[in-house]
Copies of this chain bind each other. A is one copy, B any other.
Amino acid sequence: MIIVMKPGATQKQIEAVEKQLQELGFHTHPIYGEVKTVIGAIGDKRMVKANNIVHMDGVENIVPIMSPYKLVSRELINENTIIDIDGVSIGGNELAVMAGPCAVESEKQLMEVAIKVKEAGAKILRGGAYKPRTSPYSFQGLEEEGLKLLANVGKETGLKIVTEVVDTRDVELVSQYADILQIGARSMQNFRLLSECGKASKPVLLKRGLSATIEEWLMAAEYILSAGNPNVILCERGIRTFETATRNTLDINAIPVVKELSHLPIIVDPSHATGNWRWVEAVAKASIAAGADGLMIEVHPDPSSASSDGPQSLKPEKFSDLMMGLKPIAQAVNRVI
């Protein structure tokens, strides 16, 4: 941590800051510049009270040096985390593709999609039983009934199941049915939910918040790891920007940045990132080319009658075409799909 003093800060003020830092357990190293003095503070940056030093006389601001997360970073573990779910791996050489409807609507709908996405090469079935909807008047999901349908279809097809959990009270129940617990973008900073999922026995797919920085996203993952669950899959699904032509802006840069900072696997959700099925193929290809470990894609047998997110869902045939188109891209970056 570096404390930057104001121009004209007095020697007395500088010493007072040093004294305070030392009481907080830091070693201090002042550097006297031509205009400003800066004080290097060596020690554990998680001692957050140090931030309050900006209130001391003569202090201009504080610059953190250490990243605030540990368990998720490559500083501690350099080797890529590979998550194995009964033979389906995420983060390894083979790309993980999760596909299925936004919301579970019926057994018929789910089974139809499941068979089609499996044929096309997906190994994990997505489907929402609990839906976080911006309107209280929209369909909120089949809840436990939806979980049961997912589990049944998973059993029959051999597909693994990923589904969202939106309430701390449901973590245990969802864990009984799902293979992967999904934490949605709007819940990325629901810290209680993060902690509960950190105590669960299933891997967690953590979507990036609409306006979360990469650092905040990794901090959210840190919550899960620090609660005891090392199996976190990051999922970039687009961030909110000024652009309105698309539902969100896919932050493709985040892929190499996260790969550099963290050992956790990262996948991309091109359906939410674009909001329009016509653009899903292009950005799905881009994501794999950029180094993503997999994709999560919305597929619906009849998008024009979907109860949620119809506009961004692919028809099964389009999904199948996409999977074919991804093969040479995967090969070009030494991955298989």
Q: Mark A250-283, 1 if CB is under 8 A from B, else 0.
A: 1111111101100000000000011011110111
Judging by beta carbons under 8 Å apart, are A65 and B33 in contact? yes
- Which among B134, B187, B252 is the interface contact of A190 at CB below 8 angstroms? B187
- Is A10's beta carbon under 8 Å from chain B? no
Which secondary structure dominates chain A's binding surface? mixed
Judging by beta carbons under 8 Å apart, are A51 and B311 in contact? yes
- A227 to B136: give the CA distance in the assembly, Å: 9
Q: Point out the residues of chain B lying under 8 angstroms from A257, CB to CB.
A: 245-246, 279
**Assembly stoichiometry (copies):** 4
- A63 to B31: give the CA distance in the assembly, Å: 14
Q: Point out the residues of chain B lying under 8 angstroms from A120, CB to CB.
A: none
- A54 to B313: give the CA distance in the assembly, Å: 11
- Is A151's beta carbon under 8 Å from chain B? no
- A255 to B259: give the CA distance in the assembly, Å: 24
- Is A249's beta carbon under 8 Å from chain B? yes
Q: What would 11 A/B residue contacts be, using CB atoms closer than 8 Å?
A: A7-B75, A35-B75, A38-B65, A52-B303, A54-B311, A132-B191, A241-B249, A245-B253, A250-B251, A252-B252, A288-B289
Taking Cβ atoms with an 8 Å cutoff, the residues of A that contact B are: 2, 4, 7, 20, 29, 31-36, 38, 40, 42-44, 46, 48-49, 51-56, 63, 65-66, 68, 75, 132-140, 166-169, 186-187, 189-192, 195, 210-211, 213-216, 219, 222-223, 226-227, 238-246, 249-257, 259-260, 273-274, 276-279, 281-283, 285-291, 303-308, 310-311, 325, 328-329, 331-333
